[in-house]
Each structure stands twice: as structure tokens, then as C-alpha cells.
Amino acid sequence: MPPRRENRRAVAPQPMLLIISQVFPPDPAAVGQHFGDVAAAMSRRGWRVRVFTSARGYDDPAACYPARETREGIEIRRLPLSSFGKGSIAVRLLAQGLFILQAVFHALCGPRPTMTLVSTSPPFAGLAGCVLRWLRGVPFAWWVMDLNPDQMIMLGRITPRSLPARVFDWINRRTLLAARDVIVLDRFIGDRILRKADVAGKLRVIPPWAPDEVADPIPHEANPFRRRHGLEGRFVVMYSGNHALTSPLDTLVDAARRLGAEDRFRFVFIGGGQRKAAIDAWIAREAPANALSLPYQPFATIRESLSAADVHVVSLADEAVGIVHPCKIYGALALSRPVIVLSPPESYAADILRDRSVGWLVRHGDVDALVDLLRRLVDDPPDLAAMGRSARALAEGPYARPRFVNAVCDVVEGAVPDTGGGGG
């Protein structure tokens, strides 16, 4: 009599996503927060998720995180010697290079992932995806948060024909051609990408989103942040986030100077970045009574600080269109706050304002227009509450967080998301 064979159904192995990003929660950098949201969503979809990230803070290398950690089912490996601050380009490149080398080594020695997701943090992280594809046959998606060498050229740090620029662009083309999917944040970045390589068939436009911590606004009268910083009874104009070189604030500072004698205004600058030192130096030097500078606020209380504003300011340099994306606008919309956008008329932030009553566009350098607008908002105010409701409707509709998180997850799983580019 032949032996009985058990009728066992084959169980498909659990797919694994490997994320390589220099920043990841609890680091406050926006890139890390977006990767954290996608990692958690992929874990809920049944994927095993592993992350290689830095053991120290991106903006503040004094911040130290656990070398190994599991959060929301995500296996996090934080690598040493991956962040030395932003003291110089050489220091940043050294840290970024060491991070990529470590991430590639661990990825080659560890279990083979089903899919890899890499960002532009560091700018040439796409190389890690290329190496894993070439040596282990692992497909990858390149999530382009900002674009180099374009950004360095815009800032005057290198020239278009310099050796670093040519090397960067060579890396970009190799990454674009090797990637299974390329995710960009807006149509302007997409156009610039297509000028580097013809990847139209795999280009996905998926805008970012507001962090979940800013889901519900806090009324001014109940906001401890306003009480703590003496903002009660004042019209608060807030810039919160990374004070990047691609986000000029001269027009806003000049407007604050012009309105210095009017005690009804308060200009609040929150966050870090390379332009923050100039803001702090201005406040230390001139001691303006209507200006306040604060560091990044804890995520546990970020809703308080962002809700304290009457209007939020979003800034994008004219030359930065198509290179970086104005992510700050989404938090303001989610918190039912109108926005003042400092940018050229042809930009993604301007697209959001067009035909929608959620804010105003002011050109860089037009201090008169900004001062007139702020005085009008206090002297003859529009219905700011109605504008806030329109902003919230955008955040919960065309720019809803679950929509775009799921769109990125669909790309990882090999589907083509239908986002319509986020409107605009």
C-alpha cells in the first residue's frame, strides 16, 4: 500500500520591502515622515518591512536613535557614521557616502527583498537601488523628493559643466533607466526628470501629504502654544519647517520690519535649516518686538504650534520650481489655515491656489504687496474661517493623506496608481 501523501497547500512567502533613506521617524525631517507613513501602510498590507537609516539626526547630529528598533511592525536598522550635520558640503557628502556603503553592504548580506524603495536622501541613494538590482535582481522604485545636481547648480555651489554636475547627472540617468518606477512630487519635477531620461512610461506623479499629527486644528482660545508665547490677541503669520536655501524669506522679514510698529502682528519662525541662522541673527541683532524664532516643535505637540497661526507662509524660490516641492502647504491646508505663497505664478503651490479660495500668491521681492495684504487681512478681513474650511476640504479630498500614501504603496506592489497628479 503506497504511503499517504498529505495534501498541503503551498504558502506564498511573505514579500519584503527594503527602504533605504538617511532619515526616518522619529527624525522630524519631512522625507523621513513620509517614508514612515508608507512603511507602516506596507506593513499593514502584509509586507515585511526593513529600513536602513541613520543613527543620528539629519538636521541635528546630536540626536541619537536606537541602533535597532521595531515600530509598527517595521524592522529598523540605524547605521552609524551617517550624519555629521550640515557644516559643509564635504562633511555632508562624507556622511552620505558612508551611509550608502553601509546600506548596500547590509542589503547584500541580508535576506533578499522583494522590492526596494529609495529616496533622494541622500541625493545619490538611487545607486543603492541600482546595485541591488544588478547584483541580486531586486526591482526598485526611486522616490524623487528633490533633484540634484540641479539644486546645487541653482544655489551656485557648482556649475552646470563642472565634474560633480556631470557625475551627478550620469548617476541620475543610470538610476532613472534602472528603476522600475520613478515617483515625483509634481508635474514640474516630472518635466525636469524627462529632460534627463525618457522614463515617461514609468513616471508616477504623487504629491506628498500632511502628517497625521496635524489632523485637527485647535481653536485659538484653547491653544496653549498661543498663551505660552504671548500670541493671544495678535494676528500670527507663521513659517514652520525647514528654512531651506530654496525657500527665500527676505520678503517676509522685510514685511515684518515694515510692520514693526504695529503690535497687532506676530511673525513666528519655527524649525531649522540653513536659513534659520540668518533669522536668528536678525532677531538677536534688531530685537523686533513682533518676531519670534523657535526650534522644531515635538511631534506630540506640533498641532498646537501649527494651529496657532492665522495664516501660514510657504516659500519657493523662482529658480527652485521643478527642483524641490513646497511640502509645507499640506499641513496648513489640513489645519484649516489659509496660506500666503511666496513663489512665481508658475509653480505647484500656485497651482493649488488657482481658482480656490485658500490663500494668496505674492512674488518674491514684492514687499509692498505683502504688507498691504497683511494689513488688509486685519483691517478688512475676508472670511478666514470660510477659507480655512475650503483648505480643509482640499486636504480631505483631492489632497487626502490616505489617497497618496496608498498610491505610493500601489507603486511598490507593482500597480499603477490613479492620482491625477494631485489636481492643481
Q: What are the tens digits of pLDDT across the range 224-248?
A: 999 999 999 999 999 998 898 999 9
pLDDT single digits (tens) 171-200: 999 999 999 999 999 999 999 999 999 999
Decide if pLDDT at 365 tops 90. yes
Instruction: Say if residues 268 and 297 touch (Cβ distance below 8 Å).
Output: no
Which CATH superfamily includes the segment(s) 212-396? Glycogen Phosphorylase B; (3.40.50.2000)
Rounded CA-CA distance 335/311 in Å is: 10
Question: Residue 418 has what pLDDT?
Answer: 61
* Global model pTM greater than 0.85: yes
Selected residue with higher pLDDT from 201 and 61: 201
Q: Mean pLDDT across the stretch 5-10?
A: 53
**pLDDT averaged over every residue in the chain:** 90
Distance CA 276, CA 270 (A): 9
422, pLDDT greater than 60: no
As a whole number, mean pLDDT of residues 368-376 equals 97
> What separation in angstroms does the CA of 310 have from each of 233, 313, 337, 343?
11, 10, 7, 20
Please give the CATH superfamily to which domain 16-209+400-418 belongs: Glycogen Phosphorylase B; (3.40.50.2000)
Q: What is the DSSP string of 269-288?
A: EE--STTHHHHHHHHHHH--
Q: Where in the chain is the domain with CATH 3.40.50.2000?
A: 16-209+400-418, 212-396
What pLDDT is recorded for position 300?
A: 79
On the CB side of 359, CA atoms within 13 Å amount to 29
